Amino acid sequence: MPERTVTIASATGLHARPAKLFVEAATRQGVPVTIRLGEGRAVPANSMLSVLTLGATHGSEVTLHAEGPGAEAALDELATLLATDLDA
């Protein structure tokens, strides 16, 4: 089960525009992806409401998990996205 732990780079965290861009990218992956904040409950990465309810702020560490063919590539793309300041 591939996982990636990433620090949120966006100044506003996973809120508004950064969350929208992340959810859109997660939806395009073609494999199920979940995201969790710290030791919290994992939520579907393709759900805007679920991602917003995480409350991930700038500097928070989140863990991405994916399963199936292409999971590693999906996690690489999503981790790179979260490690970028999407507010810029």
Enzyme catalytic residues: 15
Q: Which candidate, 88, 77, 83, places its Cα nearest to that of 17?
A: 88
Which distant-in-sequence residues (6+ apart) come within 8 Å of 67 by Cβ?
A: 1, 2, 31, 32
CA distance 83 to 1: 21
Cβ distance 12 to 86 under 8 Å? no
